Every structure is written in structure tokens, then in C-alpha cells.
A and B are shown apart, each in its own frame.
Chain A
Amino acid sequence: MLNSSKVVGLPLPRIDGPLKVTGRAPYAAEHFAPGMLQGYALCSTIATGRIAEIDTSEAERMPGVVKIYTHENRPKAARRDEKWKDEVAVPGHPLRPLENDRILYDGQPVALVVAESFEAARDAAALIRVRYEAGEPHTDLFREQANSYVPPVLRAKDMAPPSPRGNAEAAFAQAPHQISAEYSIEGEYHNPIELFGTTAIPAEDGSLMIHDKSQGSQNSHDTICKIFGLNPDKVTVRNSFVGGAFGSGLRPKHQLFFAVMAALDLKRPVKVEMSRSEMFYLTWRPSCIQTVSLAADEQGRLQSVMHHALEATSRYEDYQENVVNWSGLAYKCDNVTMSYEIAKLDVSTPGDMRAPGAATGITALEAAMDELAYEVGMDPLELRVINFVHRDQNQDKEITSKALHACYREGAARFGWSERSHEPRSMREGNELIGWGVATGIWEAQMSPAEARVSLSAEGKVVVSAAASDIGTGTYTILGQLAAETLGVALSEVAVEIGDSRLPTTSVEGGSWTAASSGTAVQVAGRMIIATLLKHARKMDNSPFAKATEDQVELSDGRLVLEANHQLGVAVSDIMGEAGLTVIEEHAKVEPDKAIQKKYSAYTHSVVFVEVRVDEELGQVRVTRVVDAVAAGRILNPKTARSQVLGGVVMGIGMALEEEGMVDHRTGRIMNHNIAEYHVPVHADIEDIEVIFVDEDDDKASPIGVKGLGEIGILGVAAAVSNAIFHATGSRIRSFPITIDKILESETMQ
């Protein structure tokens, strides 16, 4: 089909880009109102216990301080758990800031200072005297293994590992090749560069405008209205620009509660912006201990897969994620058993972080696959190829599409995998040992219910509205592209309004589902506009559309035309003029097709090839080359899509080599709660990364053929790096991150 205004699939720059690169895009803590106050939270310095005494008198004498809130004077808020549970809450009792004297984790907020200036609030917070009665902290997952349990209440029904199939124990015992190993991953912290912040601005009419750092304006809106019993119609939450989140903004954070609490109490605008150290007390990717056992026959065909994971959660909530289930569907195997447990620690509740569960579980599975390849004595890529499966064995369903063979083929060719020598420690250049590693990635291709409103004016201007979020993912741009293409206009004619709780209902931006969900809603609304135009056009004198159906027409260059013959058409302005309209607006509501979901599973797939160079004396690892080949259905914008995968790869390199929260288990406190000591990749760490999108047609994963890209980029990366380190050095390091000390202590590097 020839469409002169084709915009979907083009590598267009972001439409929100000019505002971002010139510093004109306002984030949550960058809104102003006359008389605005600043809030600053004080965090606990113990991990468990109670506040025996809190003395704010000295702090209150600081010039500029307006009010200090503690558990002794906090304004009333809801008490019942249900009122505090947000759209993505986990089973348990959500933390209610300043509700009582109990301390459940290091860094729990114990006071909020509100002052006329940021400086006064910050310095006054340092003058609050807190006397604690500290309990004995339990923060070491290894030491709490004996207290592990299967979550009694599931976070979601598909989160439990499927029942075992076949007999994995027996098949393992009988197989000629076996490996079994324990893998541990330290806790990670999201650390978006934007600090969590909220600006709450009350108006005289009793309404409240809130700018919140959030991955879902409506989630923040609904939750804060429940907590304070507010009239939902009088409260607006906006998240027009979100400075990164990676999952940390899915659930509302305490600064939202604080800003609204103080704004309602003091009847003045209040801004609360966190400190970087506070960002380490919010939520985290939980530390995890896993055991993976794999067995194969002489040809490398998997005979048995066993995967057990134990993850940390908090005292007050049972966080859960899908760590092990991936092992039951990644490769063909008839004997599989998987289990998942959690253990309570004196920590804040863990939360979803980029590819939650999968990033952890697939790291262990894909490291184990590499171990099995060396046990069998075959190429690690070949082992994956021969165990390919085109069916979801966990759910016994067909797969909508799986162009993973193309990923293997194209990725290997680009990387030059065929040049690899199999033996560890067999490639070097000067002082550096060179290693090549590979790993597969999988993520669910999900779609959530979504709504969107689209309007088309007689002049050809388009407005797209939905309460979707753009956390750096490119939502503004791809929704604009879909509207532009559907309505046959240039992208510059489309205005995209998102990030506002008043707009059509959209769930939080997470799980890589926004493009598939909101994108479908926009396209459907666009098609509804065309249907309305056709209805009016049919009534016109000598209408060329007398017998045309909706799927035979389209919009092109401001005209409604027959798809088969663009010569036959009528100008949109004429149709609207005749019908007495200046604008046509349609509201679409979409949801996943239940019939398809019953029969099919949908996943994105990838393969990651990594080259590392390890300094033989210093143990320093450089990731010099990465090729990530991705099968993710239709790519709406190759430029922003590529960026998402690049970002995932970078975070995966951090997971492999750098990122770990270091807890002093004697005090239960995080020691490296800053981004000088919690290492994330910097420019110098990131060398050459290549992203390949293989062709993949899929009309079932979502109506627009999109599978989503937010998570897939990180998957497989940490495993591929660890496999490459083994290939370079000959040592298996099964504790992540693989820091220099572990490399230097490994057997082959002594």
C-alpha cells in the first residue's frame, strides 16, 4: 500500500527533543508558584527498631522553618491498607510515612521539614535530634536462607512457577552431561539521574495541581486521593517529563505523600525533592541466590532443567517477581522443575527494575548454559541453536512469533562469532586476555488495556491525548507517528498530550507495554475518525464513496481517498464543511484479544554477543564490543528503538561488572548510598555497541505488530559478559557484579 505520508518505521528525532536539549522541558520539581515552600525529609539511621525520642525544637528555631512533621504531629491520613495500595502494589502492608515510631529499614523517613527555602529546610533537618532504640538488623540474604518461604499471597497469578513437568531429578541423574551451580546477585539501585520530586500547588477553589515524578500520573492520582480522601475531580497529577525511572517510579514514593500532606496542611504550594542518598532507600532490585542445574545428552540436547531462586523482600511487604519461569520456556526440555522463595530482611520493599525477575533469572540460566556448553564440549551458540523451541512449554501454548534464529544468524555474522576459538584463555593481545561470550534474552510481549483520544481539524491538525508517560522511551514520538500515519498528515502537524491524569485512562508505563497498548489505542481512534469522515462523505452529492467500506478508504494529503485509487477522493475540509464540523474527535478503548491470549504466548527475543578484554595483571575488564540482535516485532522508530536497546545494554554492563548496594550487615545500613561509590557505567566504560533489529512480522502480539523494547536490551547482557570473562580467563565467577577483586582472586588469575 502506497502511503505518501508514511511516518511509522522512520528513524525520526524525538518530537520532545528540542525542549529537552535546550533545557526547556520541565520535570516534576521544576514548577513554580508564588509563596512556594520547600520540603526536606530526614531519614532514619537505623535499620530496625523504634524512635524513642525526636526533638525538633532546635530545628524549629532555624530562621525560615515553617513546620516540622514527625510521627507525633503528622496530619491524618488513611489507615487501611487498601487505601494505600496503588495500581502495582505487592501483597502486604504499604509503608505509611510518619505513621508511628516503628523503623523497618535504613533510611525510612522520620521527619519532614518545610521551610521558606531549600537551604533552611536542609540545614534544619540536620538539627533534628532523634534517639533510637535499635533492634538487631537482619539484612544478609545468605544468613536468612533458613527463613525463606513461598509467598502465601501471589502478586499476580502467573507469577508462580508452573508445576514441574516430566521428572527433572531422574533425567538429571541419568544424563551423560551435568552441571549444577549457585549464582548470587547483589541488590541494585535504579538511580535515575532525576531525583524523585513532587510539586503540589493548591488553588483557591480547593483544587490541587501536582507535578510528580512517576511512571503513571493516574496511579499517583488515584493513590493520593485515597490516602487523603480527596475528591478525585479536584486533583490533577502531571508527569509531562520524567527524568528516568527504570521501574522506580511505578509505585508512588514518599515525596508525593509529603508534598501533598504539607500543601493541604499549610495551604501553600510545596515542593519536595529528594537527596541522592534518599534514592537508595526507596526501592531496589532485590539480591538473589539461585541454583541452576542442567543436564544434556551427548549431542547437547537438554534433558533436565532445575532452577531455584531465593530473593529478598521487606518486613512489611512480599515483593515478588518472575525469576525462574524463563528457564521453563527458553529452550526445549521435557523435564523441568522450578521454584521461587522469598525471605524477609530489614530493608525497604524491593521493586521492579528494568526487566524485573528476568534480568536476574536469565543471568543465571544463560551463565549455566555456557557452563553446560563447555561440559558437553560444544560451541555455546550451537548449544542454544539445537535447543531452540517454538512453543511455550510452560503454558503449553503456541508462540505468536520467534525470529530468534535470525537473531542468532545475523548477530553471529556481525560479531564474527565463527572466528572464535573454543578454549578459554586462548585469545590475547598484549597484556589483555580476550574473551567472547554469548547469551539469549527473553521478555514478555505484553499489552495492557488503554484508551486514547485523537482529533483531526478541518485544517489537518491532529491532537493525540492519553494519560501515557514518556520516561525517555519515546512515547511522545511514536504516538505522534502512529497518528500521523493513520490520518495521513506530517508528524509536524500532530500535537501529543500525555503525562496528565485527566487524559484518557492508561496504565503505568512499565513492562514494555506502552507502545503496544497506547499505540493501538491511537491507531484505533484514528481509524474511527476515518470512519466518521466516510459516514459524512457518503452523504455528499456525487460521493465517490457511496459503496466504499471503512477498510477501502484512507487519508492522504488532506483528502479522504479510495485506497485503490487515490485519484478518487474528497478534501477533509470539504467533508467537514458540508457536515458543519470544524473538528472530529474520537475516543478509543482497546484491550488484549482474549481469544488470542488463550491460544498464544508472546515474547520478545534477543541474542547478545560480547567481547571483553581482561588485563592479566590488574584484573580490569573492558567490554570492548557488544552486538545485540533483537526480534521485537514491528519497529515504530528505529532511532528511539535503538536507543532503548543501547540503554538496556549499558545497564546490563553495570549489572555484570559494577552495580551493587553494599550493606554493613552489623548495622543493616547501606554504605555506598551515593553515585560516587555505587558505580554505574560512565562514558569511559562504554565502547562499541551495535544493535540489530531482525525482521519479525507478528499480527497477534498486538494489533499494531509491536512487542515492546524497554526491557529486552538488558536481557542476556550480564550473562554474556560473565561468559566472555570465563572465555578470557578460564575462571567461572558466579557472584555478580564481577568486580576486579573477584577476578584477581579467581583460580586462573593468581
Chain B
Amino acid sequence: MDLSSQHPPLSTCPVSLTINGQIRNFDLHPWVSLLDLLRGPLELTGTKKGCDHGQCGACTVLVDGERMNSCLKLAVSLDGAEITTIEGLGTPDDMHPMQKAFLEHDAYQCGYCTPGQICSAVALLKEGHAHQRHEIREAMSGNLCRCGAYTNIADAIEEVLGTEAAASVREAAE
């Protein structure tokens, strides 16, 4: 099949995204995934590419508070969305509680799947479905870790879950 005359016209679309609290306006080619937008032009390389096919979870970011494989989303389809990446969750000097828990529990080794695990874990707590360890494991199974830090990751999430549960009990009591 001769496709030579069928190259896509490389027109661009205007897209507005709020990324880590900042409103950003782009003119994007429709074939750019959210992942490649973040890792390429925006140099937000904390979001990782591990498969580009939604199989490994390394590219997980928060889109309007929900976890999402950014490799499976074309950026142009997210006009108006609010994106939080690992860089937006915390900094080395001011870490998110989940980042601190990962550090403390050694819930990573090479660190490559880690941003995706952390974004996924933060969303998981918000979803409120996972209360026990086996539920955490089930709900985190979209995030692969080849270094095998799974038990430590579950420990880290459990700790934050416990702290949050304790905090909400306190709030309810007050």
C-alpha cells in the first residue's frame, strides 16, 4: 500500500494545560502524547517512559487528581486539564509524605519506576478503595518494579494510609 501521499498534515492544535499549578499554553501536533510532551519539550523527566504502551505504569501522573498512564493520552485530548507530575508533588527539601515514606522504607532501588509508583500511590489513597495490604497490592499492580521493591512499596503506602486514617479519625473527633 503506497502511503506516500497520505502523510498526516502536521497542523497544530492549541491546548491549555495546568501543569504542577502553572497554566501553560501550547500549539501541539496531535500525535504528541502527554508523556512525550512532559519528557521532551517541558523537560519534566521525572515522568518515566518504560513501555509507551500502558503496560508498566512508569509514566503515571495525576490528571485532575486521578492516576493515568500519560503514554496513553494524547496531549491535545486534555485541554483544560490539571496535571500533577512527581516534580509537582514535592522537592528534595520539601517532600510529599508519600515521597518521605518511600525514602524511609527503601521502596525503590534503581528509582526509575518510582515516580510512577508514588503518583499511583497518592491517587490510590484518594480513591479510598484500598484499606488492607492485599487491596493495596491489587490496586498497585499496574505499576511494575523490576528491582522487586514491592514489599517495601506496600510498607510505605501502608504507613501513609495509616497516618491519614489516624488523621481523619482525629479530624472527625474534633
CB within 8 Å of A: which B1-17 residues: 3-4, 7, 10
CB within 8 Å of B: which A55-78 residues: 58, 61-64
Beta-carbon contact of B58 and A24 below 8 Å: no
**Does residue B106 face the partner (Cβ distance < 8 Å to A)?**
yes
Report the bound CA distance from A24 to B102 in whole Å. 15
Q: Nearest chain A CB to B119's CB is how many angstroms away?
A: 9
Q: Quick one: which of B40, B48, B90 contacts A194, CB cutoff 8 A?
A: B48
Q: Quick one: which of A119, A245, A647, A650 contacts B31, CB cutoff 8 A?
A: A119
Beta-carbon contact of B43 and A650 below 8 Å: no
Which residues of A have CB within 8 Å of B146?
190-193, 244, 246, 651, 680
Given contacts A244-B112, A643-B152, contact A18 B138 (CB under 8 A): no
Which residues of B have CB within 8 Å of A24?
46, 87, 91-92
CB within 8 Å of A: which B33-74 residues: 36, 39-40, 43-53, 55-56, 58
Which residues of B have CB within 8 Å of A21?
86, 95, 99-100, 102-103, 108, 111, 114-115, 118
Which residues of A have CB within 8 Å of B77?
none
Chain B interface size, as a band, is 35 or more
Q: Nearest chain A CB to B14's CB is how many angstroms away?
A: 18
Report the bound CA distance from A193 to B148 in whole Å. 11
Given contacts A192-B146, A193-B112, A243-B48, contact A646 B152 (CB under 8 A): yes
**Does residue B79 face the partner (Cβ distance < 8 Å to A)?**
no
Report the bound CA distance from A22 to B112 in whole Å. 11
Beta-carbon contact of B140 and A683 below 8 Å: yes
Number of A-B contacts (CB under 8 A): 193
Report the bound CA distance from A127 to B7 in whole Å. 10
Beta-carbon contact of B40 and A118 below 8 Å: yes
- Minimal Cβ-Cβ distance residue in B for A246: B146
The interface stretch among A9-17, A303-311, A413-421, A592-600 is: A9-17
Encode A565-595 as 1/0 by CB contact (under 8 A) with B: 0000000000000000000000000000000
**Does residue B83 face the partner (Cβ distance < 8 Å to A)?**
no
Beta-carbon contact of B108 and A20 below 8 Å: yes
Given contacts A17-B103, A194-B48, A674-B55, contact A643 B145 (CB under 8 A): no
- Minimal Cβ-Cβ distance residue in B for A64: B10
Given contacts A192-B146, A649-B148, A683-B140, contact A63 B110 (CB under 8 A): no
Report the bound CA distance from A567 to B28 in whole Å. 69
CB within 8 Å of B: which A1-31 residues: 13-14, 16-27, 29-30
Residue tally, chain A, CB below 8 Å to B: 69
Majority secondary structure, A binding face: loop
Q: Quick one: which of B53, B87, B112, B147 contacts A647, CB cutoff 8 A?
A: B147
Report the bound CA distance from A273 to B103 in whole Å. 28
Beta-carbon contact of B141 and A123 below 8 Å: no
- Closest A-B pairs by Cβ, 4 of them: A23-B46, A650-B148, A243-B112, A472-B110
With A22-B87, A30-B39 already in contact, 19 other A-B pairs whose C-beta atoms are closer than 8 Å: A17-B108, A21-B108, A21-B115, A22-B91, A24-B46, A24-B91, A61-B7, A63-B7, A190-B146, A192-B146, A276-B53, A646-B152, A650-B148, A674-B51, A676-B55, A680-B144, A683-B140, A684-B137, A687-B137
Which residues of B approach A to under 8 Å, CB–CB?
3-4, 7, 10, 29, 31-32, 36, 39-40, 43-53, 55-56, 58, 85-87, 89-92, 95, 99-100, 102-104, 106, 108-115, 118, 136-138, 140-154
A selection of 21 A-B contacts at a CB cut-off of 8 Å is A14-B103, A20-B111, A21-B100, A21-B103, A23-B45, A24-B46, A61-B4, A117-B29, A117-B40, A193-B145, A243-B111, A244-B146, A244-B147, A471-B110, A646-B151, A647-B147, A649-B148, A650-B148, A674-B53, A683-B140, A686-B148
